[in-house]
Amino acid sequence: MSSLLKITDLHVSVDEKPILKGVSLNLRQGETHALMGPNGSGKSTLAYTLVGHPKYEVTDGTIEIDGTSINELDPCERARLGLFLAFQYPVTIPGVKVADFLRHAVTNIRTPERKEGEGLIPMRDFRKELKARMEELGMDVEFARRYLNEGFSGGEKKRMEILQLAMLQPKFAILDETDSGLDSDAVRVVSEGLRKLSGPQMGSLIITHHERLLEYNVPQFTHVMLAGRIVETGNADLAHELHNHGYAAVRERHPVEAAEEQEVQQKSVAPIAVPV
């Protein structure tokens, strides 16, 4: 049976400032959802909240996997339940080799009851698997020996996120602007990579401003956020329309949220909290 990630009436604050004001969304394994919306509408906040970033405080609502709330779980526990976030700004961990990091991650995800210090998956098997995934993604296998994201270009970091996705095989993958800041070749590589990984075992929530990623990964559902709410849900055509015509029409159709958005923007001395 396919798993379900169910978000119900989610309210989230950052530094006591409400950002999400009642978001509901059902993401099933095997489905592809696009999440769009103007800057500051709350897309990244939703992404970070789903994986449990401590700065994002859930003030109301629930996040459930197959009927069990994960609100109180830390990011590690959520990851072991099958949640994955491809970061918009992947973090550098100096001195930690990609292969070592991933070997720990893969072991923990596949053996969720593993405790620190307990055995890791056999080196030989791991290397073989990692090499295969890297080759599929057109990555130089030398990257496995490099330190995680240290000195990586923007495209290399994003590809590293996709590699981790491929290795960890999550039930639910959230991709936060994985296509941003990349040249068109890199966007193609990442988009193709994601398509290869998609299947009945993975549900994806793709946050994007661009169309390319969605051309390769056609969404069954497109959600539009405005001022901390999902104001519209449609199919792939909606994504296409937003891409071609922008958000003006959405704002016209949702004047209340549009007014709120404007108000927040005028007051916005405090920047949107995006970890870098």
Partner 1 sequence: MSVISSPPRTVSPFNAEAFEQFLSTRQEPAWVSDLRSRSFEAYRELLVTELDPEEWKRIDTRAFRPEKFAIRDGSTAQGGSSEAAGFATLLADRAEFAGVVSHVDGACTRSTLSESLATKGVLFGNLSDLVRTHGDVLKPHLMTKAIKPEADRFAAWHGAFWTGGTVLYVPRNVEITEPLYSLIGLAAEGAADFSHTLIILEEGASATLLEETSSASATTAGLHVGAVELLLAPRSNLRYVQLQNWNEKTWHFGHQGGRVERDASLQWTVAGLGAKLAHIHQEVYLDGKGASAQVNGVTFATDKQLISYYTQQTHNAPNTTSDLLYKDVVRDKARCVWRGMIKVAKDAQKTDGYQRNDGLLMSDTCRVDAIPGLEIEADDVRCTHGATAGQVDEEQLFYGMCRGLTRSEAMHMIVTGFFQRVYDRIPVEIVRETLGQAVERKLGIRE
Which of 94, 151, 200, 255: binder of partner 1 (CB under 8 A)?
94
From the CB of 174, what's the least distance to partner 1, in Å? Answer: 10
Contacts with partner 1 by CB under 8 A: the residue count is 35
From the CB of 76, what's the least distance to partner 1, in Å? Answer: 4
From the CB of 33, what's the least distance to partner 1, in Å? Answer: 20
Question: Which among 92, 87, 4, 5 is positioned nearest to 44, based on CA atoms?
Answer: 87
State the angle between helix axes of 98-110 and 154-168 in degrees (0 to 180), rounded to the nearest 10. 30
Interacting span for partner 1 (CB under 8 A) from 73-81, 120-128, 180-188, 201-209: 73-81
Any contact of residue 234 with partner 1 (CB under 8 A)?
no
Any contact of residue 208 with partner 1 (CB under 8 A)?
no
Q: Which is nearer to partner 1, 19 or 250 (CB)?
A: 19
Cα–Cα distance measured from residue 228 to residue 10, given in angstroms and rounded to the nearest whole number: 10
Scan for tokens 């995800």, then name that residue.
109
Which of 34, 51, 99, 238: binder of partner 1 (CB under 8 A)?
51
CA dist 245 → 127, 242, 257 (Å): 46, 5, 19
Q: Which is nearer to partner 1, 165 or 230 (CB)?
A: 165
* CB 172 within 8 Å of CB 4: no
Which of 12, 63, 65, 109: binder of partner 1 (CB under 8 A)?
109
Interacting span for partner 1 (CB under 8 A) from 26-34, 102-110, 121-129, 239-247: 102-110
Interacting span for partner 1 (CB under 8 A) from 30-38, 106-114, 193-201, 218-226: 106-114
Q: Restricting to residues 21-50, which ones interact with partner 1 according to CB under 8 A?
A: none
Any contact of residue 105 with partner 1 (CB under 8 A)?
yes
DSSP 50-74: HHT-TTEEEEEEEEEETTEE-TT--
Q: Which is nearer to partner 1, 119 or 255 (CB)?
A: 119
Cα–Cα distance measured from residue 51 to residue 115, given in angstroms and rounded to the nearest whole number: 20
Any contact of residue 200 with partner 1 (CB under 8 A)?
no
Question: Which among 145, 141, 165 is positioned nearest to 99, based on CA atoms?
Answer: 145
Q: Which is nearer to partner 1, 130 or 230 (CB)?
A: 130
- Describe the strand order of the beta sheet including 83-86 as a list of residue ranges: 83-86, 172-176, 203-207, 32-36, 221-226, 229-234
Scan for tokens 């990984």, then name that residue.
197
Q: What spatial distance separates the first Cα and last Cα of the chain, rounded to whole Å? A: 37
Q: Where are the alpha helices (DSSP H) in the chain?
A: 43-51, 75-80, 98-110, 123-136, 154-168, 184-197, 212-216, 236-245, 248-253, 255-267
- Point out which residues bind partner 1 (CB under 8 A): 51-54, 74-76, 78-80, 84-85, 87, 90-96, 100-102, 104-105, 108-109, 112, 116-117, 147, 164, 168, 275-276
